[in-house]
Amino acid sequence: MRKQYFIVDSFSDLRINRQTRNNQKCASSLLKECINPKQKTRTFDSLLRNHPDKFKNESQILSYIEKDPVARSLMGMICSINSSRQGAKDEDYVISGIKEALEPRLPNFNIDNLKPNDMVPIRGTGEVLTRKKAKKKYSKTEMLKSFDFNGKVGGKLFYGSAKIVVGKGGHQDNVLHEEADLLRWLSSHRKKDCFYFILLDFEGHDPKDIEDIKGSNNMSNVFICNHIELQKKLEELND
């Protein structure tokens, strides 16, 4: 039987499609759902300041866009959440896709998404805490990037961090620094009887960056890979 893997052809398209849904949801809910509150405030303030003859308060703006479908659509585009700021949704989508592809055909294998605050490694210690507990003991700078998924393969537990990078600039350029920090933490504090994954999918980004971080890893139970390589490695470990 041909091996089946979960494959994302374009993360850029994934975000474009989600942005379209965000815009539509924001517009159809009259700016109640899928909203960027700061952008909404800026937009309303601008309308009130520049068009005082037409709008005296926010209620009049909302009444106007409720009656005018073009204005409603435009406000949905302006005030909706930016899909590029929803990277966690991309990562959840990938892990859920891998779960659906691999669990039915790999015996005793499982993989699940973790919530962002479930498992936070602490710099300079071997501790992994919930963010709530970590905040009581440590400063923000001592908390590393959280693990995003976990499971069991080949009779061993595994933990993974996931990042999807589309293009360059802004927070995306911090991704490699975050994962390099986690890699250093793993070099001192990983458990020998567990596997660890750093899942990195780059699109429109210099591939040399990911090759550099791969080259810095010499740990036999730590793997740096994209979402297709991850599935092949899990399959290999399960065998």
Domain map (residue ranges) of the chain? 11-83, 86-238
Q: pLDDT tens track of the chain, all 239 residues?
A: 456 899 999 999 999 999 999 999 999 999 999 999 999 999 999 999 999 999 999 999 999 999 999 999 999 999 999 988 787 889 999 999 999 999 999 999 999 999 989 999 999 999 999 999 999 999 999 999 999 999 999 999 999 999 988 876 555 557 888 999 999 999 999 999 999 999 999 887 677 777 888 899 999 999 999 999 999 999 999 98
Nearest CA-CA partner of 120 in 108, 132, 130:
130
pLDDT of residue 195: 98
pLDDT of residue 111: 98
CA dist 149 and 146 (Å) reads: 9
Nearest CA-CA partner of 159 in 148, 168, 150, 167:
150
Helix or strand run (H / E) with residue 72:
helix 69-79
Contact 160, 197 (CB under 8 A): yes
pLDDT of residue 34: 96
Answer yes or no: CATH 3.40.1350 is held by domain 86-238.
yes
pLDDT of residue 73: 97
CA dist 14 and 191 (Å) reads: 35
For residue 118, give the DSSP letter: T
Contact 139, 123 (CB under 8 A): no
The three-state (H, E, C) secondary structure of 76-90, written as one string: HHHHECCHHHCHHHH
Q: Is residue 7 classed exposed, middle or buried when 0-12, 13-18 and 19+ CB atoms within 10 A define those classes?
A: exposed
Contact 121, 27 (CB under 8 A): no
**How many degrees, rounded to 5, is the angle at CA 163 between CA 159 and CA 165?**
165
The alpha-helical segments, DSSP class H, found in 11-57 are 11-28, 37-50
- Specify the pTM: 0.86
